[in-house]
Structure 1
Amino acid sequence: MPRLSAFAALALVPAVAVALAGCSGSPSTSATSTSTPNPSSTAAAETQSSCAAPSAGTASKSVKVTGKLDAAPTVKFDKGLSVTSTQRSTVIEGSGEKALTGTLLDVAFTIYDAKTGKKISTAGYSGSAATQFTVSKDLYLAGLVDGMHCAQVGSRTVTVADSADMFGTTGNESLGVAAGDDMVIVMDILSKVPTKATGTTVAPKSGFPAVKLAADGKPTVTIPKTTAPKSLKLEVLKKGDGATVKSGATVTVQYQGTLWRTGEVFDQSWGSGPTSFSTDKVVAGFKKAIVGQTIGSQVVVIVPPSEGYGSAGNTTAGIKGTDTLVFVVDILAQG
């Protein structure tokens, strides 16, 4: 599918913009893949009672964290901290639902290099832009996900992540992380974000593809047996009551892209989880569809080639230079 690999999904975390994501992306200006990440095999069977968090250990218990939830913490630990497998302790016990695989969360976090003690990144605390992550090792590095997975909403966790679950044997030169360095992650699980549009239903316009929604919100699109319009067309199927999306903002969405020519899906977030990206990192037609809309809305946009992938198309994704695209987009959050 046309994706920006790791770049778009972490636009809301400037200091680690290409580091924490695995294979997430967006309807990008350049395609890099045609496959949709499969959801974790445990997602379907996982329940509130069966969800199992990583175990605490000597290393995670040794990290001293003080401060209130949603406020930047004070963190103290001895440099050179190391583990052979990832450990997680809970500093503040929440009372909300557990964050199962596939859950979209508002979070705040601070990440340190466990060997050097260097602060790598911090984001999402009160007074700064919100940060959303999906609990999915298909989308983010395993150590980051371990800081959220099965934690109750309202919790603060401290994770000492084994290097194999973070930057591995290559490290990350741009962040100053050496090969083999373990990481300390302090994660605040602030709230659960809906994974589908929650706005008020709006009557569809004539001439648009028909959209049928599954119980989980995943759309099935039926293209009309007519010639595609020559200009961009937009309809709102659900009108949210949240904030208005601004140009250049980081948004979290569920989306599906379909070719008008064939009726085939060429790209989607459904099956891997909501994805976050800057509105400046997507094709022009997709940006026009979401900027100015409100959080909680679902929109359908018909994108002509000139506002999609242009005359070159995208052979990797099966998009010709003459192809019109149809996107169904659930707008979930804005950073």
Structure 2
Amino acid sequence: MRKTTAVASVLGFTALALAGCASAPATAESCGREAVTGPAIDAIEVSGEFGPDLTVDAPAGFTAAGAAHSDIVPGDGRVIESLGQGVALDLLFVDPATGATVPMWGEPGSLTRIVTPSVVSEQMLPGIDDALLCASEGTRMVATFGDDGVVPEFGAQVQQVLQQVAVQQGNDGAETPDLSSIVAVIDVNRVLPASAEGSLVYNADSGMPRVVRDANGVPGVTIPAGSAPAEQETQTLIAGDGAEIAEGELLTLQYTNVRWSSGSVANSTWQSDSPETATLEELPEGFAEALEGATIGSQILTVVPDGDGDATVSVIDVLGAVPAAE
């Protein structure tokens, strides 16, 4: 056995239906959470707070045949039901042979560093899908990805940095670890809903665009005939049951912007798989006015004229908020 301790090293990585009514929250079990384990990964022990005090106790000569995961501490918060949901997590790579450890990101415990599992999977770790799907907020897990569960270029970077860290710690003869011997410790710090959650709000026909949502809550917009309004107009489509947005909070949003004149999507966080986290002042024009008095979980429709006869139609899902200073 070799006990390894985290160090302060950072690896720089770079058919439509109305939806929105709240349903019973999923649990890890109802979602289908199952461990994919083996004798080697079951023998790993992890303790301490994420960061310099985190310790990993793994068998000497540890190796894993492929992707596997085991929950060390099951969470009891919101469940990751879709790989497109926004999550805040910490991930630490460990080479049990040398004790070298490297976090994927700095600042452990961040609630505003929001990523989607689908982006992490596509760009870095295809093997992370099963580890994160149906995991609950508050879960700590240990995972392996093997050779096939890592994007080759990313894997080579992880191997290189782990070897460099081992040398810096005084292990002059440290070799580059095989991908099959690298362990990952993952803390799921925050799980956001995939889309707006709350009660549908009836709006009388007033010449505003029509919004429909697919089964995943992704909005589609139909522009009515006629000219764009001369002043900003806003409607609440789904009333969230969370707290009212407070000044200075960091909001996490999904939104789609559509041009009134063409009906085409100008930009969309749904398309990029990257919910945006920012203060009201940092968001696109008209968002601060549209979200005044809105509650967490709401979906807001707003039309912002550009002064030249055209306008931007925005559908905004308010997924969550935390104080700007965590």
The residue aligned with 1:56 is: 37
The residue aligned with 1:156 is: 140
Post-superposition offset of 1:186: 2.1
Matches within 5 A, 1:71-82: 74-77=54-57
Taking every aligned residue pair, what percent have the same amino acid on both sides?
A: 23
Q: TM-score, normalised by structure 1?
A: 0.60
Matched, 1:117 2:98: no
Could you give the per-residue CA deviations for residues 96-131 of structure 1, whole angstroms, max 9, x where no partner exists?
896443463655434235372134436675xx6366
Question: Cα–Cα, structure 1 residues 244 and 238, in superposed 2: closer, same or farther, change >3 Å?
Answer: same
Post-superposition offset of 1:196: 2.4
Matches within 5 A, 1:228-239: 228-239=228-239
Matched, 1:129 2:111: yes
Report the residue type matching 1:74 in the other structure.
Answer: L
Report the residue type matching 2:44 in the other structure.
Answer: V
Matches within 5 A, 1:139-288: 141-151=125-135, 155-162=139-146, 165-166=149-150, 168-169=152-153, 182=182, 184-188=184-188, 193=193, 195-199=195-199, 201=201, 203=203, 206-214=206-214, 216-245=216-245, 249-270=249-270, 275-279=275-279, 282-286=283-287, 288=289
The residue matched to 1:60 in structure 2 has which SS? helix
Q: Report the structure, 1 or 2, having the larger helix content.
A: 2
Matched, 1:296 2:294: no
Distance 1:327 1:123 in 2: 33
Report the residue type matching 1:278 in the other structure.
Answer: A
The residue matched to 2:220 in structure 1 has which SS? strand
Post-superposition offset of 1:193: 2.9
Question: Cα–Cα, structure 1 residues 80 and 300, in superposed 2: closer, same or farther, change >3 Å?
Answer: farther
The residue aligned with 2:313 is: 326
Distance 2:153 2:123 in 1: 20
RMSD: 4.7
Question: Cα–Cα, structure 1 residues 300 and 86, in superposed 2: closer, same or farther, change >3 Å?
Answer: same
Distance 1:242 1:50 in 2: 23
Could you give the per-residue CA deviations for residues 269-302 of structure 1, whole angstroms, max 9, x where no partner exists?
5578672433466533445544763211111122
Q: TM-score, normalised by structure 2?
A: 0.61
Question: Cα–Cα, structure 1 residues 331 and 94, in superposed 2: closer, same or farther, change >3 Å?
Answer: closer
Q: Which runs of 5+ in 2 are unaligned?
A: 1-9, 15-27, 164-175
Question: Cα–Cα, structure 1 residues 118 and 150, in superposed 2: closer, same or farther, change >3 Å?
Answer: same
Post-superposition offset of 1:331: 0.7
Post-superposition offset of 1:332: 1.1
> Greater CA deviation, 256-265 or 86-95?
86-95
The size of the alignment, in residue pairs, is: 276
Matches within 5 A, 1:12-31: 19=14
Report the residue type matching 1:197 in the other structure.
Answer: E
Structure number with larger C-alpha Rg: 2
